[in-house]
């Protein structure tokens, strides 16, 4: 939020200074059209910069509001899949901004669905936190996370992959079990992927599969049923 608001404040201050200059020019006995047009052009550019960044800040506020409501609710609502994933990305920005971990999202626009959007938000948030902590050593290691999503007409398909540390087969076998952790000494609860598993299988009535190997990252393939938004608000 600080960046767009800071830019908007700077642009508005520039507009104020240009307005003073323009007033001084108009009070002179002689002023050229070129000078007036130059100041007017700069005012227009600064005003556009301020407006664009304030709109960006407003969009962030709306995104944060949706995410905040979703994280505390399991109620079903209409949502656009790409927009929801972008909301999660924005909400996790502070956790990743000091890292060298890049996040890539591939999801077609316009997939409008009806279902427990808050559960999907919690699911993706938990996966991102799991990658930051385990795959990339609490964010100390660089890497990439890629989220690919699609809808078949009945099922949402989400492929979530990171290129981090990965898991050996003996750990992978227990990945979704409660209280299983390799970080007990550093405060790990062993509940992260157990929560993910339950969100998918119990709350979304879907399936989740995990593939991983040491040094080759971890990949989750998730499928869950959902319904499209129907015009008029009635759900099939």
38 vs 44: CA distance, rounded Å: 10
In the chain, the N- to C-terminal Cα span, in Å, equals 39
Q: How far is residue 205 from each of residues 76, 141, 179, 226, measured CA to CA in Å? A: 14, 34, 23, 10
Write the DSSP symbol of residue 92.
T
125 vs 67: CA distance, rounded Å: 10
Domain boundaries along the sequence of the chain: 2-64, 76-228
Residue 112, classed as helix, strand or coil, is strand
The pTM of this model reads 0.65
The HSE-up count of residue 150 (CA atoms within 13 Å, CB side) is: 4
CATH match for 76-228 among 3.20.20.80, 3.50.50.60, 3.90.1150.10, 3.30.565.10: 3.30.565.10
183 vs 165: CA distance, rounded Å: 14
Digit-by-digit pLDDT tens for the chain (236 residues) are 667 787 788 888 888 888 888 888 888 878 788 888 888 888 888 888 888 878 777 776 665 565 554 454 457 888 999 999 998 888 888 889 889 999 999 999 999 999 888 889 889 998 999 999 889 999 999 999 999 999 998 999 999 999 999 999 888 888 888 755 655 444 344 567 888 898 899 889 999 999 999 999 999 999 999 888 766 544 44
Contact 218, 135 (CB under 8 A): yes
Torsions phi, psi for 82 (to 5 deg): -65, -40
């Amino acid at each position: 939020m600080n960046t767009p608001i800071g830019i908007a404040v700077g642009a508005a201050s520039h507009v104020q200074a240009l307005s003073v200059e323009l007033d001084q020019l108009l009070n002179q006995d002689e002023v050229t059209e070129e000078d007036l047009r130059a100041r007017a052009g700069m005012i227009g550019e600064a005003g556009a910069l301020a407006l664009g960044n304030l709109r960006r800040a407003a969009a962030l506020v709306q995104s944060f509001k949706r995410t905040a409501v979703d994280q505390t609710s399991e109620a079903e609502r209409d949502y656009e899949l790409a927009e929801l994933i972008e909301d999660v990305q924005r909400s996790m920005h502070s956790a990743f901004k000091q890292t060298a971990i890049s996040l890539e999202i591939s999801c077609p626009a316009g997939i409008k669905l009806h279902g427990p959007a808050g559960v999907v938000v919690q699911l993706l948030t938990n996966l991102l936190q799991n990658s930051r902590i385990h795959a990339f050593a609490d964010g100390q290691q660089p890497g990439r996370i890629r989220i690919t999503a699609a809808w078949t007409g009945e099922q949402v398909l989400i492929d979530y992959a990171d290129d981090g540390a990965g898991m050996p087969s003996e750990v992978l076998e227990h990945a979704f079990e409660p209280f299983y952790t390799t970080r007990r000494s550093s405060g790990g609860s062993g509940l992260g992927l157990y929560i993910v598993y339950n969100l998918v299988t119990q709350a979304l009535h879907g399936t989740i599969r995990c593939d991983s190997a040491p040094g080759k990252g971890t990949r989750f393939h998730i499928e869950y049923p959902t319904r499209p938004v129907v015009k008029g608000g009635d759900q099939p």
